[in-house]
Amino acid sequence: MPGIEDLYREIILDHYRTPRNRGELPPPAVCTEGNNPLCGDDIRIYLDVADGVVRDVKFSGQGCSISQSSTSMMTVAVKGKTIEEVRAFVRRFKHMMTLSEDGEPVDQSIKLGDIEALQGVVKFPVRIKCATLGWNTLLEGLDEATK
Amino acid sequence: MPGIEDLYREIILDHYRTPRNRGELPPPAVCTEGNNPLCGDDIRIYLDVADGVVRDVKFSGQGCSISQSSTSMMTVAVKGKTIEEVRAFVRRFKHMMTLSEDGEPVDQSIKLGDIEALQGVVKFPVRIKCATLGWNTLLEGLDEATK
Amino acid sequence: MTGANSVLDAAAIRREFPILTSEINGKPVVYLDSANTSQKPNVVIDAMTTFMRESYAPINRSAYTLAASATEKYEGARAAVAKFINANSTNEIVFTKNATEALNLVAYSWGRANLQRGDVVVLTHMEHHANIVPWQMLQQERGIELRWVPLTSDFQLDLSSLPTLLAGAKVFSFTAMSNVLGTINPVEKLCAAAHAAGALAIVDACQSVPHSPTDVRALGADFAMFSSHKMCGPSGVGVLWGREALLEAMPPFLGGGNMISEVRLDGFKCAELPAKFEAGTPPITEVVGLGAAIEFLNGVGMANIRQHEIAMSSYALEMLTSRFGDDITIHGPRNPELRGATFSFAFRGIHPHDLSQVLDQSNVCVRAGHHCAKPLMKIIGANATARASFYLYNTTQDADALADALDSASDIF
Amino acid sequence: MTGANSVLDAAAIRREFPILTSEINGKPVVYLDSANTSQKPNVVIDAMTTFMRESYAPINRSAYTLAASATEKYEGARAAVAKFINANSTNEIVFTKNATEALNLVAYSWGRANLQRGDVVVLTHMEHHANIVPWQMLQQERGIELRWVPLTSDFQLDLSSLPTLLAGAKVFSFTAMSNVLGTINPVEKLCAAAHAAGALAIVDACQSVPHSPTDVRALGADFAMFSSHKMCGPSGVGVLWGREALLEAMPPFLGGGNMISEVRLDGFKCAELPAKFEAGTPPITEVVGLGAAIEFLNGVGMANIRQHEIAMSSYALEMLTSRFGDDITIHGPRNPELRGATFSFAFRGIHPHDLSQVLDQSNVCVRAGHHCAKPLMKIIGANATARASFYLYNTTQDADALADALDSASDIF
Ligand SMILES: Cc1ncc(COP(=O)(O)O)c(C=O)c1O
Ligand SMILES: Cc1ncc(COP(=O)(O)O)c(C=O)c1O
């Protein structure tokens, strides 16, 4: 059995205790909502996109340490990136979470930085949904912001 | 395992090969139909009742040796009896087939005669429905003839 | 060792359950998720194995010895179920795949035959999704009205508004015990109230039948349903009990083999009860396994099980509050006589999902989430809770193991 | 010993099935009722026993190790089923309680969403009640029209009228193989004809999936369904396969836990596939058992099973006609390539019920009755037939035992 310390790395607990970019953004920022039917967690992502760049991003909602910290780290990472960069970044993250779709190109050279601490989640398959909740909700926000 | 000879007694096979009272009766005789969902057998009983007495009874339909011979023997036994006698007789028969309802009075002194050959059917529970098919259909006919 | 006031030897019972005597990583399994699904004793596993090895055959269709004896075993289990809940007749016992199917059967068959636009169905705020969604589907389709019995601050049904809610209602469908709060509802009284208002009384007995004696006649209910897998029996089979006259009058639900007496190109006729509601090949081995589970439970004694769970509740409530004080919030009644041994709780602000993960390190198995009762969760103000539920095989040691594991969770968060 | 042209060692396979190596009254069991339900090999019984002893836990609900690994085993079986029939994705595999529920699911959910008064559903004269009654229920409720593909004199579907029947139809639902006649239908061709007419193609694959390789994509079907219990798996579980886009678009069928993503007092949202159609606690142990059955069947090889059954058919047809000549009438095609090894027959005017009773004295298990296909029985002019059906574990000795037992029936009648 994988140890609990694989899951609750210090950096994860840090983002859980002190989440970054928590809050809301007023319209015209896009707001999308996601939820995890298993545990009842929900999350809202606020996205301010202009000229193809993520200017600002915030999140609110309730969730476990994994979903909250993963979302917090995600917001830090994507702010300031172009939409294409963000999409490539999400693909790289999902690949780490063993969730790549068949034939989807993944740029392995992209560095995930702190987010690599979430790799341990893979050993706890039930929690993968927690770790990806914010990211999937972000993708929906991107779709909405760019349509 | 009970032997097949308990089931296929000579008198049963005789009534199967040479059924008595096979045929139909024209109206005003009452006709009721029964079927055994398990095997697809069906039977029709024609009943001529007057002044509270079963004047005539005939049957038609398809069925296995047990349902056919049981019905044949039944027609022989009930012809000429009063309705009350017939009902008591049916109760006596069903009791032999272990199908008495709780608290139903059964007159053990009634003699079943040849019909006792059907007692062996009890050892083959699946066939009890075959043996009683004609009898239940008769009861429906009595209800109809007396309402 | 099994709780000072328990009337049964849970430690001995536990030895009958292979999983409960097994270890993961050298540590015993502390199974506290029986409100979700229960473990299976040897006698149930063996009954199924033996049946598949020696007696498996089609039922109700073929006449050879093997098939006749399989049919006898299957129908024998039906008789055991009927007796277990004191039904009037085996015709009142319909085997479904689970309690959820049984609730849907009633909503589809009785509901579609009897409920029209504007008709009122009364539910409660503590229902499981299985007793909500089928009615909401009918609401979408038919425009029936749903009314909800609210809760009091001490997690009971608030009966003050019941007469108003029931006025003009056609159905009152409610759980005998909350799978989240542990609250045991006054089923007889609720059935009587339903009938007084001219409504049908449907009892979701999933959480009561496995844990205490059941007498459907004494309850005065019209329908009741429960699942084998929560009462030491196999998965894949549930029970619908209904008053014979009601079942007789209902149209069929699933169509197919076994539920017909006649099929022609231009139409079909239904079979007699209970076949009418058992379309297709039923869960044969599973029904036989349920029969064995009932024999097992009867052997222990349902009244004893209830006593044991009262003792477990007392112990757990006292021990947890004395060890953790305000750090633990238990969502449910404090009086062990008014509740089952199912505890939803919040602990030191740790998210239930994280909590269950940490408890899992000590093999303490609790459920974290909404427990298929999202409306209730919202009402008690939680997105999720952790839930520990005890059964006849749990001991005070299991409760202690839970508390110890909670301590270790505090170390991490 | 297993038929001159068989590619598999049925005698060895048979030893894997406890019931087939058992004796009743000192005589071996000759099980010829697999079209009804099949026996279970040791590996399936053991997989279920081991699961209940070591791994039983709730699935999809709890996060602890035991529950996560039970979920993995359950979902692993889904993946095995998807691969077994070459589905596009595990989202296309819905576990039901049997094939009958799967057919009802399609009729209730897809049917009620898409069929209106006057819409046409085409069936065939050789359907099982499970593929008739659900549509007749929709006929009563909605006033849809049912049309029937008739049979030719050699027990095939009469395709000459098919284009006329399909004109304007919304659904063509048919069996891949008749459970009475043994006739194997040209499924690909029938699916293509349905699609050419703009109709949905629903394949009742109950009698084909257990007996030959299945590739739902190659068949070009829209829905297909089959039952675990007919393919060496446990009772209590069936499979609905459907094209993902169709399943996506359909409203839910049973409402309750697991099939929702959100429930509020004022309504619910469905979960993603396949959970959307799996309300309540599923047959957990049984799905795991089905996974083991598929592994077992894959080990033998589905193409080998089909070859073996062709060999069994050849042998049985020749042997029975050479021994009994005109005394036996087999209702079904003579060409072993065009049929499965399921034989309905009439013998010397002896009523099938009596026949099966006498055969039972030699432990020869055959079904007697209407085989849940009453319209077909009427068309072939029989109230009932006896039916002997062979599977991978049957040998030529079983066929010989049948013939010997038939001889002894002549002595009595
Ligand atoms: C062709 C066919 N369709 C449907 C069924 C129904 O299967 P089940 O009874 O497992 O639901 C059967 C088997 O009885 C069958 O042979
Ligand atoms: C109160 C209650 N009702 C209904 C159900 C549904 O039971 P099942 O999932 O066995 O259909 C459950 C269990 O999950 C329950 O606790």
**Which of B4, B38, B39, B101 best tests the C interface by mutation, with the highest count of C CBs <10 A?**
B38
Of the residues D191, D206, D232, D372, which is catalytic?
D372
Write out chain B residues lying below 8 Å of C68, CB-based: 124-126
pLDDT at position B36: 84
pLDDT one-digit tens code per residue, C124-160: 999 999 999 999 999 999 999 999 999 999 999 999 9
* Per-state percent for chain D, helix, strand, coil, to nearest 5: 45, 20, 35
pLDDT over 60 at C343, yes or no: yes
In short, whether D281's Cβ falls inside 6 Å of ligand 2 is yes
* Ligand 2: nearest atom to the Cα of D280: 9
Note down pLDDT in tens along chain D; length 413 residues: 444 567 899 999 999 999 999 998 899 999 999 999 999 999 999 999 999 999 999 998 788 999 999 999 999 999 999 999 999 999 999 999 999 999 999 999 999 999 999 999 999 999 999 999 999 999 999 999 999 999 999 999 999 999 999 999 999 999 999 999 999 999 999 999 999 999 999 999 999 999 999 999 999 999 999 999 999 999 999 999 999 999 999 999 999 999 999 999 999 999 999 999 999 999 999 999 999 999 999 999 999 999 999 999 999 999 999 999 999 999 999 999 999 999 999 999 999 999 999 999 999 999 999 999 999 999 999 989 999 999 999 999 999 999 999 999 988 88
Could you state, in order of their start, the residue ranges of all structural domains in chain B?
4-145
| Complete DSSP assignment for D130-185 | GGTHHHHHHHHHH--EEEEE-B-TTSSB-GGGHHHHHTTEEEEEEESB-TTT-BBP
pLDDT one-digit tens code per residue, D105-121: 999 999 999 999 999 99
In short, whether C204's Cβ falls inside 6 Å of ligand 2 is yes
pLDDT over 50 at C301, yes or no: yes
| Distance from the alpha carbon of residue C268 to the mean position of ligand 1, in angstroms | 17
Residues with CB under 6 A from ligand 1: C 257, 280-281; D 98-100, 128, 130-131, 175, 179, 204, 206-207, 227, 238, 372
pLDDT at position B1: 57
| Distance from the alpha carbon of residue C267 to the mean position of ligand 1, in angstroms | 19
Closest ligand to D174 CA? 1
pLDDT over 80 at A37, yes or no: no
Hey, which chains touch A, using 3+ CB pairs under 8 Å? Answer: C, D
Q: Hey, are the CB atoms on A37 and D63 less than 8 Å from each other? A: no
Coil, strand or helix at A137: helix
Inspect the structure and tell me whether chains A and B have 3 or more CB pairs less than 8 Å apart: no
pLDDT one-digit tens code per residue, C258-273: 999 999 999 999 999 9
ipTM of the modeled complex: 0.94
| Distance from the alpha carbon of residue A18 to the mean position of ligand 2, in angstroms | 38
pLDDT one-digit tens code per residue, C189-201: 999 999 999 999 9
pLDDT at position D196: 98
Average pLDDT of the residues of chain D: 96
* Mean of pLDDT values over C285-308: 98
Is B125 an 8 Å CB contact of chain C? yes
Smallest Cβ–Cβ distance between C52 and the set D40, D128, D369 belongs to D40
- Which strands, in side-by-side order, build the sheet including A30-36? A30-36, A41-50, A53-62
In short, whether C130's Cβ falls inside 6 Å of ligand 2 is yes
Share of chain C above pLDDT 90, in %: 95
Q: Which of C394, C373, C396, C395 is nearest to C383 (CA)?
A: C373
Q: Hey, are the CB atoms on C134 and D285 less than 8 Å from each other? A: no
pLDDT over 60 at A117, yes or no: yes
Inspect the structure and tell me whether chains B and D have 3 or more CB pairs less than 8 Å apart: yes
**H helices within C51-145, ranges in order?**
65-84, 99-105, 112-114, 133-142
Write out chain C residues lying below 8 Å of B125, CB-based: 68, 72
Both tokens of C157, joined, read: 């049904």
Is residue C263 within a helix (H) or strand (E), and if so which, with residue range?
strand C260-264
Residue C353 C-alpha, separation from nearest chain A C-alpha, in angstroms: 6
pLDDT confidence bin for A104, thresholds 50/70/90 = confident
CATH of B4-145 among 3.30.160.340, 3.40.640.10, 1.10.8.420, 3.90.1010.10: 3.90.1010.10
CB-based burial label for C164 (10 Å; 0-12, 13-18, 19+): exposed
Write out chain A residues lying below 8 Å of C374, CB-based: 40
* Mean of pLDDT values over A65-73: 96
pLDDT over 50 at C61, yes or no: yes
pLDDT at position C3: 47
Pick the residue from chain D with its C-alpha nearest to C236.
D283
Write out chain D residues lying below 8 Å of B124, CB-based: 357
Rounded distance between C-alpha atoms, residue C366 and residue C389, angstroms: 8
Closest ligand to C182 CA? 2
Write out chain B residues lying below 8 Å of C260, CB-based: 37
Q: Hey, are the CB atoms on D128 and C256 less than 8 Å from each other? A: yes
pLDDT at position C5: 65
pLDDT at position A1: 57
Closest ligand to C134 CA? 2
pLDDT at position A4: 84
Has C365 been annotated as catalytic?
no
pLDDT over 60 at B106, yes or no: yes
Q: Hey, are the CB atoms on D68 and A1 less than 8 Å from each other? A: no
Window C:261-300, CB contacts with B under 8 Å: 261-262, 271, 275
Rounded distance between C-alpha atoms, residue C38 and residue C231, angstroms: 6
Closest ligand to C282 CA? 1
Domains of chain D in sequence order: 10-31+301-412 (3.90.1150.10), 46-299 (3.40.640.10)
pLDDT at position C64: 92
Work out the number of other CB atoms within 10 angstroms of the CB of residue C372: 27
* Mean of pLDDT values over B44-61: 96
Q: Whose CA is nearest to atom 15 of ligand 1?
A: D206
Identity at D183, one-letter amino acid code: T
pLDDT confidence bin for A5, thresholds 50/70/90 = confident
Helices H / strands E in chain B, number of each: 5, 3
Is B4 an 8 Å CB contact of chain C? no
pLDDT over 50 at C2, yes or no: no
| Distance from the alpha carbon of residue D202 to the mean position of ligand 2, in angstroms | 32
Q: Hey, are the CB atoms on D383 and B4 less than 8 Å from each other? A: no
Average pLDDT of the residues of chain C: 96
* Ligand 1: nearest atom to the Cα of D127: 1
Coil, strand or helix at D377: helix
User: Is the separation of the CB atoms in C368 and C343 below 8 Å?
Assistant: no
pLDDT over 80 at B116, yes or no: yes
* Mean of pLDDT values over B119-126: 90
Write out chain B residues lying below 8 Å of D370, CB-based: 39-40
